Amino acid sequence: MKQSLILTILVTLTSFQRASAIPFQVRADLDSCLNSAGLTSIYPSSSGYASAAQAYNLRFQYSPAALVYPTSENAVAAAVKCAGSLNVPVSARSGGHSYAAYGLGGQDGALVVDLSKLKAITINSDQTATIQTGNRLGDVALTLYNNGGRAMPHGTSPEVGVGGHLGCGGFGLDSRMWGLFLDQALSARVVLSNGTIVAASPSENSDLFWAIRGAAPSFGIVTEYKFKTYPAPSSNIIFSYSYWSTPQATASSIFSAFQTFAQTSAPPTLGIQAILASAGAPGQLYVSLTGVFYGTKSDFNNAINPLLTKIPKPQGTSVVTYGWLDSLVQLGGQSLNTSTTPDGTDTFFAKSLMVPQEAPMTSAAIQSFFNYLGNQGTSSDTVSLTTLYSMHCEP
Ligand SMILES: Cc1cc2nc3c(=O)[nH]c(=O)nc-3n(C[C@H](O)[C@H](O)[C@H](O)COP(=O)(O)OP(=O)(O)OC[C@H]3O[C@@H](n4cnc5c(N)ncnc54)[C@H](O)[C@@H]3O)c2cc1C
């Protein structure tokens, strides 16, 4: 499997507001069309509008023309037809965790088709799973495991939605072993922009099937996917090797060793990331090499040893074995059942840089990056996450 490194840099910034933009008559016609189609909708004048239209990332605040909550694939199609007939932009919202509020349309005046009422999950006799796109990752993991000990690769946050996660990638610490979330899709059902409903798979509308696995928001609203699943590993070792405060030159050498390890000896059963941050004082950095090994303790020791022999003794070490669901709870930091936890929010700016395996970061680039993090980084709330074979997806 090809590997890449990615840097995701999160910086806290302030929020900003945008004004609403949809002509009065278009809004009235849209309301009327949605009502005639029997769709439950929330309008700007509705009492629940402000919370329904709140973005996960509070830097973004858009004003949708309306939000609809279809309970069937046909109802999704009816909503899309209403918007299409009035030239109102449409945006699907699955888990609402887009970094830049694209689930709200990424602009004012969109019709948001909220999929949260499409939550069916069927485990099929051939161990595939048919999952509607209103589901969140935590609930999918729970249902798969509780119905036959099955699992699939995906990101760590239980609240992220199936629709957005698959629509543009979906990386988890188990992705070096099983692939991205989108690699698991066997077929899909899609509502196109003219409101027609089609099936997509390698043998039916294959070009659409190719396109939705990476750019779904540009091609339609996927209402359900059929997925491959895997037997959940019984031994999941969550580890971290941390340096609370280390000179930036040492941090650079740790990172170089991490990168070489990624290229040469890390097995697919090892998901690992480097978390880098300012340690508060100029020239001092926090570094943590952390992840999951899927297998036995002795296999883990053999797998991690080539890295440990190349880095200084960590200031903190933790190695704990979990069952599958407990490992997901540890990684996600919350319950997997999202119906019992209120949606969180955050305020951040994120930027990603991909580093291909054939052209890893040079030592000059590593030193320059660490110099920046150890100096300018001390005056801002900056964290860098570097993951083997990673992708944080956005349209
Ligand atoms: C706290 C947090 C943790 C994360 N962790 C990871 C991680 O570990 N790994 C990783 O790879 N990514 C991660 N992400 C990124 C996440 O996968 C993407 O932001 C993803 O797009 C969110 O999906 P969503 O359904 O929750 O978001 P939404 O805002 O609902 O949707 C995101 C985009 O997909 C479109 N969309 C949603 N549903 C559909 C559909 N059914 N058909 C077509 N288009 C659709 C929306 O219109 C929007 O453009 C994380 C994000 C957050 C906020």
For residue 391, the model assigns a pLDDT of 40
Angstrom distances, CA of residue 100 to CA of 60, 218, 274, 346, 387: 7, 16, 24, 11, 21
Hey, which CATH number is domain 15-114, 3.40.50.10420, 3.40.50.720, 3.20.20.70, 3.30.465.10?
Answer: 3.30.465.10
Domain with CATH 3.40.462.20 in the chain: 4-8+234-388
Q: What is the DSSP string of 340-370?
A: GSPPP-B--EEEEEEEETTSPPPHHHHHHHH
Is the beta carbon of 177 within 6 A of some atom in ligand 1?
A: no
**From 80, 94, 178, mutation site for ligand 1 pocket: most ligand atoms within 8 A of C-beta:** 94
For residue 13, the model assigns a pLDDT of 31
Pairwise CA distance, residues 273 & 182, whole Å: 21
* Across 147-158, average pLDDT: 97
- The CATH number given to 4-8+234-388 is 3.40.462.20
Domain with CATH 3.30.465.10 in the chain: 15-114, 121-231
Is the beta carbon of 392 within 6 A of some atom in ligand 1?
A: yes
pLDDT over 90 (residue 108):
yes
309 in helix, strand or coil? coil
pLDDT over 50 (residue 94):
yes
Pairwise CA distance, residues 136 & 131, whole Å: 10
Between the CA of 6 and the centroid of ligand 1 the distance, in Å, is: 18
pLDDT over 90 (residue 373):
no
Give all strands (DSSP E) within the chain, no chain letters: 4-11, 41-42, 66-68, 90-93, 111-114, 121-123, 129-132, 150-151, 185-191, 197-200, 221-227, 230-231, 236-247, 270-278, 284-294, 316-322, 349-356, 382-388
Take atom 12 of ligand 1 and give the residue whose Cα is closest: 392
Does domain 121-231 correspond to CATH entry 3.40.309.10?
no
**DSSP state at residue 106:** S
Pairwise CA distance, residues 156 & 136, whole Å: 11
Between the CA of 393 and the centroid of ligand 1 the distance, in Å, is: 7
Pairwise CA distance, residues 223 & 225, whole Å: 7
**From 6, 76, 115, 157, mutation site for ligand 1 pocket: most ligand atoms within 8 A of C-beta:** 157
pLDDT over 70 (residue 11):
no
pLDDT over 80 (residue 346):
yes
Between the CA of 155 and the centroid of ligand 1 the distance, in Å, is: 10
Is the beta carbon of 171 within 6 A of some atom in ligand 1?
A: yes
